[in-house]
Chains A and B, each alone.
Chain A
Amino acid sequence: MATAMSLEWPVDDFTRIPFAAYHDDEVYVEEQERIFRGPTWCYLGLEAEIPNAGDFVTTLVGDTPILLNRQHDGAVSAFINRCMHRGTLLERECRGNASMHTCLYHQWSYDLGGQLRAIPFMRGHNGEGGMPADFEPSSISLDSMHVDVYNGVIFGSFSDSVEPLVDYLGPTVRADIDRIFNRPIKLLGYQRQRIFGNWKLYNDNVRDPNHGALLHMFHATFGLYRPTQTGGIRMDERHRHSTSYSAMGTSDDEDDAKAFADTKKVFDEGFHLRDESMLQYVKEYPDDVSLIILSVFPNLVVQQITNSLCTRQIQTVGPGELELYWTYFGYEDDDEEMTRHRLNQANLVGPGGLISMEDGEAVELVQRAVLREQDQHAFVEIGGKGDIVDQEYLVTEMPIRGFWSYYYELMGIEPAAEAG
């Protein structure tokens, strides 16, 4: 088995990614410690999901079960969803409201701040049994995460030395969050998608705008998005997060015919939707950007695909499986027509998404094909080699290299071999 230390990086600009990183069990275990429990901020949920005191949701950070709730003073807190007594999962429902969290096994009860408040028969029965005389319930509380909220988006960290959330996100990510979370949101619902591939293959996928019109042929077939449109990628200064963006209606058929010449049919003027309502973009931001895929290391994607808005949380199920947890929303001031429009456009994304359904298949095909190629490497040079930089075009996979450069740093991997 490989460990993170023994992954081979033949060049130092991350244009080669070792396939072993997608499969190895020990690497996976190390990632849970160094990344999901390391000096990162992981996405936990949205404030709109827990508006009232006692509201809770259960989620995962990597594969660690997390209980997220709102306290009586309005603060949001997050704990490992595990009773401190014998380790039982504390809350079993996906969401709900509770004044206390009571373990079903022996009824140990915790308040919304995670403090142990009550143990049945603490002093035994008829003077016999129970906890030792010197036991103090106040000495026990749930294992907690640091929690910080940026513009309604809740993040948690297990690290005491993690940088402040605003610095972790950096100005470019904050600007993209500010743009979408510019006013109170209204939740529309959830979708879940089980993908049989490594969680990093999905991170690669969302940092690869080049695949947009090649894998996702709905775009090209019906003319919703083309890599020849105005768009690009931008990253934070550490290159761990990235945003792909594009604007609609900024390319023409002649450009596209040239761009796609000599390839399999990927752009065809012959097909039209009978009901084009799904493709209408109701402009709602000051700019013309109609597509944003914001990827925040290690487990969050924030999406604007025309008027369809959602977060996608990447949960790990093991080296070979991830679950995507999609949370769709609109704005509180949407009228019924706008809400219906957003729901209609939700057809474009998610596990049944006309645009996005292929991602699950692509990730699984890589996972399966590289099982016995773990000494080999993925080849990542679209958009160029060398320095990792922002680009004002979409035929690039540069942000993948940014992800891996930060991964490499967090995993404490020894310096690479000779530069390539």
Chain B
Amino acid sequence: MTKLSARDAVASLLAEYVHLIDEDRLEDWIELFVEDGTYNILSRENVDAGYPLELMSCNSKDMLRDRILSLREANLYNLHHAKHVLGAVAVLDSTDGVWTLQANCSVYQTNRQGRTDLFAVATYRDTVVFEDGAPRFKDKVVVVDTFAVARMLSTPI
């Protein structure tokens, strides 16, 4: 794969990521992570103050699977459609096949009556590797500026 097409593939991974969440295809969304991939949502307040607490933390793909199973079978949350608006993807590093990316996103939630609220603005800090020729998330860190969470944090950011 050429360098340029690898870059395109990495950028399109982020696009696929947000579309799968917004289409509620969360089981497919999980497959964008490698088996020992991690997914952590951090509050900017804690990051700035040096505290380790996450808003959501999945330290393995199994924990991601559990999170989505719980959403499907156990949790009751505010009924909404999510829409992510993804900003430009910056490639910070791509040494030895390990890609470090940064991108901003905003997430809107629309309720059953068609009213839309801005739910979060956040920064993705991602580590992406290629597995069987396809880019997959090794570590995905979401730092939310909107750490005063409106209602609840149910579906992924």
**What B residues does A347 contact at CB under 8 A?**
54, 56-58, 67
- The answer to whether B45 has its CB under 8 Å from any CB of chain A is yes
Q: Mark B62-74, 1 if CB is under 8 A from A, else 0.
A: 1101110110011
In angstroms, Cα B109 to Cα A361, docked, is 15
- The answer to whether B1 has its CB under 8 Å from any CB of chain A is no
Q: Mark B119-157, 1 if CB is under 8 A from A, else 0.
A: 000000000000000000000000000011111111000
- B76 CB to nearest chain A CB (Å): 5
* Contact A351-B75, Cβ < 8 Å, known A190-B46, A194-B148, A357-B152: no
In angstroms, Cα B63 to Cα A350, docked, is 17
**What A residues does B41 contact at CB under 8 A?**
352
* Inter-chain contact A194/B65, CB cutoff 8 Å: no
* Inter-chain contact B76/A215, CB cutoff 8 Å: yes
* Inter-chain contact A217/B66, CB cutoff 8 Å: no
Interface residues of A in 186-220 (CB under 8 A from B): 187-196, 215, 217-218, 220
In angstroms, Cα B63 to Cα A155, docked, is 38
Sample of 11 A–B contacts (CB below 8 Å): A194-B151, A195-B151, A217-B74, A221-B73, A268-B73, A271-B74, A323-B148, A350-B55, A351-B153, A354-B67, A354-B74
- B5 CB to nearest chain A CB (Å): 35
Q: Mark A35-55, 1 if CB is under 8 A from B, else 0.
A: 000000000000000000000
* Inter-chain contact B46/A222, CB cutoff 8 Å: no
A residues adjacent to B (C-beta < 8 A): 94-95, 187-196, 215, 217-218, 220-222, 268, 271, 273-275, 278, 323, 328, 339, 343-344, 346-347, 350-352, 354, 357-358, 360-361, 364
- B62 CB to nearest chain A CB (Å): 4
* Contact A218-B152, Cβ < 8 Å, known A190-B43, A343-B52, A352-B56: no
* Inter-chain contact B152/A361, CB cutoff 8 Å: yes
**What B residues does A191 contact at CB under 8 A?**
43, 53, 55, 147, 149
* Inter-chain contact A364/B70, CB cutoff 8 Å: no
- A195 CB to nearest chain B CB (Å): 7
**What B residues does A328 contact at CB under 8 A?**
53
Q: Which chain B residue has the least Cβ–Cβ distance from A310?
A: B53
* Contact A218-B151, Cβ < 8 Å, known A190-B53, A191-B53, A351-B55: no
* Inter-chain contact A189/B43, CB cutoff 8 Å: yes
* Contact A274-B66, Cβ < 8 Å, known A188-B52, A343-B52, A357-B153: yes
**What B residues does A196 contact at CB under 8 A?**
150-151
Q: Which chain B residue has the least Cβ–Cβ distance from A275?
A: B62
* Inter-chain contact B59/A344, CB cutoff 8 Å: yes
* Inter-chain contact B149/A193, CB cutoff 8 Å: yes
Residue in contact with B54 in the complex, picked from A94, A220, A271, A343, CB distance below 8 Å: A343
Q: Apart from A192-B45, A273-B66, what 14 extra A-B contacts exist at CB < 8 Å?
A: A94-B45, A189-B49, A190-B46, A190-B51, A194-B150, A218-B70, A218-B74, A273-B69, A275-B60, A275-B66, A344-B59, A350-B55, A351-B151, A358-B75
- A327 CB to nearest chain B CB (Å): 9
In angstroms, Cα B45 to Cα A323, docked, is 15
In angstroms, Cα B69 to Cα A360, docked, is 21
- The answer to whether B78 has its CB under 8 Å from any CB of chain A is yes
- B34 CB to nearest chain A CB (Å): 16
